[in-house]
Structure 1
Amino acid sequence: MQVLKLETPAVNPYLAVILAVVATAFSSIFTKLAFAPPNVIAFYRLAFTVLLLTPLALNSSGRRELRQIPGRDLAMATLAGAFLALHFAVWIASLQYTSVASSTVLVTMQPLFVVTGGFFFFKEKIPLRGLAGGAAALSGSVIIGLGDFQAGGQALWGDILAFSGAFMVALYILIGRSLRSRLSLFPYVFLVYGTSAFFLLLINLASRTPLFPYPVMDWVWFLALAVVPTIFGHTVFNWALRYVKAAVVSVSILGEPVGATLMAYFIFKEVPGPLQITGGLAIIAGLYIFITASRGK
């Protein structure tokens, strides 16, 4: 793949990434509040997102761009949607077996794959100071999980699901880094989210999981998942991928466990211990070092 030229947008992409991290922190909370099966939650999250973005994606310029997308880019966008669907399916399932902190920490280990892929595919080099900050943030995630991981049984299965979700989302981010250099934001996310919703629908139909009825509040959480962590989270990340390195987006997502753990304390009474607090501080410090170093580069 060719080396991508970083552009200078009107909006500060680093600030946008930070705000997107705050939005994604609500993801595990809204998901755990819903009673529907994991794959149903994932499907409606993406389906509602597609419906909300349709007017922006299918305006005159959007329709023209969608008609002109090369077959190879269309195939890659479909593949990104498939990886996103698998990510949501396994990660949401993990919340049924392990705690919010453990699940969120493991699923945000994807920088291990993204930084490696960014170097090999896009020749994206990170300054030494940035790598040190990324390592500190990653260590903070591990520290948070150490006080929460449980050995064996259902918790271990939940941990495996969450970590596999990290691999899937890393592939999704790397493909997006390539395609966003050529495709506009809303046509791109319309394709990816639409494909992802379609795959999740097939998964639900194949497993004979009923798509309705569910409690009224479940539909509220489905819509909240579409608006907050998907549109203001994932979509902003996809916007930023055109302007910053994939590693910047990937490592920034490590801030999600901090917000998720804090909200889990107030909502689910999942009390963070000294390790969680220490890890959270390490993540914040590491993210500051990584983002400022990458921005300076």
Structure 2
Amino acid sequence: MNVRSSAQVAAPTAVALTVAVLAVSSSAPLIAFAAAPALAIAFWRNSLAALVLTPVALGPRRVEVRRAVRGPAGVFSVLAGLALTAHFATWMPSVQLGSVVTATALVATQPVWQGLIAAAQGRRPSTAGWLGIGLAVAGAAWATGVDLGVSSQAVLADVLALLGALAAAVYTALGERTRAELSTTTYTWICYGTCAVLLLGICLAFGIDLTGYNTQTWAAILALVVGAQLLGHSMFNYALQHTSATTVSVLILLEVPGAAFLAWWWLGQVPRAESLPGLVLLVSGVAVFILGQASFKLIRR
């Protein structure tokens, strides 16, 4: 590929990654801003996204959908939807119960949990990977320890965020297995649809109101659907065609300072000074883990 064509590819990829990071950075502040139960927001976020994808899934992709429903790929897509439900049911309440910054940083430990899942499957992390895991765990312990002195609600928010990261890792592992057979549209439609149905059942079982919100809350929910749920994920998927998964994973970490800035500028949430070193250590550990794993794979090749 010549210099000119490389630049032509790099420019839209850079724009896509910038848009994606901004979109996902808005997720936690929008959840904290919305005057609605976290599980209800999660339901609308997934159901509306699935609705948007339905014309494509049941139109050009209907043959693939029919094949998926009859085979193991459909089962894994449903299981991924179950894991995604667990992710939203834990992480989104953590944002409303605690700090946007802490919740975003703790859920960013997803790659570390991903590495531990891989280790359990016999794919052991590299030395740098284990170092990153150690740093991330130490950072999470530091940030959670600070919240221990604040309130039991803050600690609960931290635990929920960590469980959300673990659920996201399981969701990604199942998605990796399924994406080998299904297109992005078919997979996400089944996954989001499953998640929406499960969240609807949970909301109905616990009497959570799904309507009656003010205009600002509905605007925030729609912004979540268009931004983090569709635009952010779609742009990351586009970028993966032109850059490495490691690059994308590292750039996703920019969600932490992005969410922190939006929470400060928009919601007036100033991060506690005592927790900042722990959060920095946590994000650094995740970055070391991702880069260490990438280097390990190159050496193995």
CA pair 174-14 structure 1, distance change in 2 beyond 3 A: farther
Would you say the 8 A contact 1:107–1:163 is kept in 2?
yes
Measured in 1, the distance between the counterparts of 2:221 and 2:124 equals 38
CA pair 295-57 structure 1, distance change in 2 beyond 3 A: farther
| TM-fit CA distance, 1:59 | 2.8
Would you say the 8 A contact 2:105–2:282 is kept in 1?
no
| TM-fit CA distance, 1:295 | 6.2
Which residue identity lines up with residue 118 of structure 2 in the other structure? G
CA pair 17-169 structure 1, distance change in 2 beyond 3 A: farther
CA pair 165-249 structure 1, distance change in 2 beyond 3 A: farther
Gaps of 5+ in 1: 1-9
The answer to whether the aligner puts 1:93 opposite 2:93 as a matched pair is: yes
Which residue identity lines up with residue 105 of structure 1 in the other structure? A
Which residue identity lines up with residue 254 of structure 2 in the other structure? G
Q: How does 1:7-46 map to 2 (within 5 A)?
A: 20-46=20-46
> SS state of the match for residue 96, structure 1?
helix
The C-alpha deviation readout for 1:120-172, integer Å capped at 9, x for no partner, is: 54x76766667767776776677666666644421112222111111111100
> SS state of the match for residue 163, structure 2?
helix
Residue number in structure 2 paired with 1:68: 67
CA pair 23-294 structure 1, distance change in 2 beyond 3 A: farther
Would you say the 8 A contact 1:101–1:144 is kept in 2?
no
Would you say the 8 A contact 2:33–2:267 is kept in 1?
no
Residue number in structure 2 paired with 1:6: none
Would you say the 8 A contact 2:132–2:286 is kept in 1?
yes
The C-alpha deviation readout for 1:26-81, integer Å capped at 9, x for no partner, is: 11111111111111111001111112222333332x11111112522111110110
Which residue identity lines up with residue 160 of structure 1 in the other structure? V
Measured in 1, the distance between the counterparts of 2:180 and 2:124 equals 18
Measured in 1, the distance between the counterparts of 2:112 and 2:289 equals 14
Measured in 2, the distance between the counterparts of 1:268 and 1:32 equals 8
Of the two, which has the highest radius of gyration?
A: 2
Residue number in structure 2 paired with 1:79: 79
Which residue identity lines up with residue 39 of structure 1 in the other structure? L
Gaps of 5+ in 2: 1-8
TM-score, scaled relative to structure 2? 0.78
Measured in 2, the distance between the counterparts of 1:292 and 1:240 equals 18
Q: Number of residues paired by the alignment?
A: 285
TM-score, scaled relative to structure 1? 0.78
Measured in 2, the distance between the counterparts of 1:13 and 1:139 equals 37
| TM-fit CA distance, 1:255 | 3.1
Residue number in structure 2 paired with 1:4: none
Which structure features the higher share of helix residues?
2
Measured in 2, the distance between the counterparts of 1:75 and 1:244 equals 28
Q: How does 1:113-132 map to 2 (within 5 A)?
A: 113-121=113-121
Would you say the 8 A contact 1:105–1:144 is kept in 2?
no
Measured in 2, the distance between the counterparts of 1:240 and 1:289 equals 22
Residue number in structure 2 paired with 1:155: 154
Q: What is the alpha-carbon root mean square deviation over aligned residues?
A: 3.6
Measured in 2, the distance between the counterparts of 1:171 and 1:48 equals 23
Residue number in structure 2 paired with 1:3: none
CA pair 161-229 structure 1, distance change in 2 beyond 3 A: same
The answer to whether the aligner puts 1:206 opposite 2:197 as a matched pair is: no
Which residue identity lines up with residue 101 of structure 2 in the other structure? A
Q: How does 1:87-236 map to 2 (within 5 A)?
A: 87-121=87-121, 150-236=149-235
Would you say the 8 A contact 2:20–2:233 is kept in 1?
yes
Measured in 2, the distance between the counterparts of 1:259 and 1:80 equals 27
Would you say the 8 A contact 2:105–2:279 is kept in 1?
no
Would you say the 8 A contact 1:43–1:200 is kept in 2?
yes
Measured in 2, the distance between the counterparts of 1:235 and 1:84 equals 17
Measured in 2, the distance between the counterparts of 1:180 and 1:113 equals 20
